[in-house]
Structure formats: C-alpha cells, structure tokens
Amino acid sequence: MPLRVGTSGWNYPTGKGTWNGIFYPFPEDRQRGFDELAFYAERFNVVEVNSTFYGQPRATVALGWARRTPASFEFTVKLFQKFTHPGMTSDKAAVSQADVDAFKGGIDPLAAAGKLGPILAQFPSSFHRTPEAVAYLEWLMRTFANYTLAVELRHASWSDTAAETRALLGGGHATWVQIDEPKFESSVRQDLAVTGSDLLYLRFHGRNAAQWWDHDQAEDRYNYYYSATELAPIVSKVRQAQLAAKKAYLLLNNHFSAQAVANATTLKKMLDEPVTAPMPAEFLERFPDLAGIPTLPRARLL
C-alpha cells in the first residue's frame, strides 16, 4: 500500500513553538541558500500545505514547490478558508466561480508535475449537519470532482449519522478525514475505520484538551507529543488499511516545537518505513526516544 507520512506545514519560523534551532538551523546559522522545504522533503514524502487556507494558492509559488522537491514527493493542499470558514474572511458572500478558478489555477503546477495529493476541505466544529450543509458539500464535491477530495468534519452531528455521512461522501467520491484530537461533548466520534473508501487520510491534532479552547496563543493548542503507546493502536489501524490495499496519508499537526516532525518519524519507524536521512543533533537531543536514527551534526546543516 502506498504510505505517505508527513506534517501539516513545514515553515514555523516564529513563536514559542518555532522549529528553528530544533529541526532547522537558526537563521543566523544558515548557509546562504538553505531551503527548508528541500531539507524537509529529504526526510518525508508528503506535506500538507497550510498557507493555501489563508490565501488563494499562486501558480508561481506552487511551481517553485514542485521544482524544489523530489519527483516522488506529494503536496496535499488545504482549501482556501472562504470555501470552509466564510466567517473568517472579510467577504462573506457565497463562493464564486472566480474563487474556484483561482484555487484550481493556483495548484495546477503541482498537478502538472504529478505532485498533487488530496485537497483538504477542513471544516470547523461549528459546521453542523443540516440540509444546507449537506447541499453545500454536494456542491463542493461536484466542483472538485476531478480531484481527490478529503473532507474533515469535526462536529458530532456528522458521526451521529455516520452511515448517512459515509454515503454522502462516498457518493461524491470524497474521503472522510479521520482525526485524532481532544474529545468534547460536541466532537465528532470516529473509529479510524478503513471501509468505504480507497483512501485513508488521518490527521493528528494532538490531545491537549486543557489548551484546546483556552490558550494564550493559537499554537499552544498543538503543544502535544504522542507517546509510542498512544500511537500503537493507530498503527494497528493503518496496518489494516495496508492489508486492504488502501492508500494512506498520515499528517501530523501537533506542530509546536517540531513535535509533529518527531511523531512523524516515530510513525515511520513503527510502520517499518525507512528512516535514512540524518536528523540534526539538536533534534535528537530534544527527542531522545528517537535515539539510534542517523544524526546530522550542526556543521552539516551550514
């Protein structure tokens, strides 16, 4: 089964949870031309693009991504927030054909290079199952029918009617994203089932329930490190998907202080995926449970 393991985003240059000095060198220690994406792509075979949620993708930028990564690398791309979070944009009008065309045009270079994975439609917990929501999803699936679409639904109303939700998404040839996150009364309930789709798309948000809603900075929500014990039952589910010959994407979004990078590496090891590209010594000092994988001294980064 094709298996892709990576993180949600690759560029975290600021904040308490920066990746600088852990996975990447500090800016002042970098040799001219150091490329974070190229460095990341030597160690993982997929990344989930976050920037396209905050602004429409640009073809020139996407072309640069394609050129800076290996031929086998893939990008999963998050839909622009106007498609999924209309209240977060200044323009609260309905999505226009121009919006659709702009998104598709922006990711065309990735598709042309054979590097485009699923498009991620990440809906908020406020997106409940209603007749209007169902109709919108049907429109979205028709609109992106020529792409692989993965839909993240966070509210319990979707899992309360799980059979209907699976039928809805299956009818539109879309995948229901499986999510690992803190669970509250209104949270979607899932069992990481691998039936009903030829694709498993699993996102790890961490389990920091204490800071999920109550935090000083948004990044605090994702300050969580999975233990191998916590990952073991998930690995078992992924192995079931492998037996069913399903393609799997495992994306780690617990990005605070490069914990996503460490957990993605742990998952690769647990799933018998090769971990051959060396990691910085500082990274392995931060995550001693990864001892034994190849080490890259600081000098090699410069």
pLDDT, one tens digit for every residue, the chain (302 residues)? 689 999 999 999 999 999 999 999 999 999 899 999 999 999 999 999 999 999 999 999 999 999 999 999 999 999 999 999 987 654 555 899 999 999 999 999 999 999 999 999 999 999 999 999 999 999 999 999 999 999 999 999 999 999 999 999 999 999 999 999 999 999 999 988 666 678 999 999 999 999 999 999 999 999 999 999 999 999 999 998 888 878 999 999 999 999 999 999 999 999 999 999 999 999 999 999 999 999 887 644 44
Of 206, 205, 202, nearest to 246 by C-alpha is: 202
φ and ψ of 59, to 5 deg: -60, -40
**CB hemisphere CA count around 122 (13 angstroms):** 20
Domains of the chain: 3-301 (3.20.20.410)
Q: Which helix (H) or strand (E) holds 7?
A: strand 3-8
Chain centroid to CA 189: how far?
19
Distances (CA, A) of 126 to 14, 130, 155, 236, 254: 29, 11, 7, 31, 21
- Please list the residues that pair with 75 across neighbouring strands: 47, 116
Distance CA 221, CA 236 (A): 26
Residues 6+ apart with CB under 8 A from 120: 48, 76, 77, 78, 79, 150, 152, 177, 201
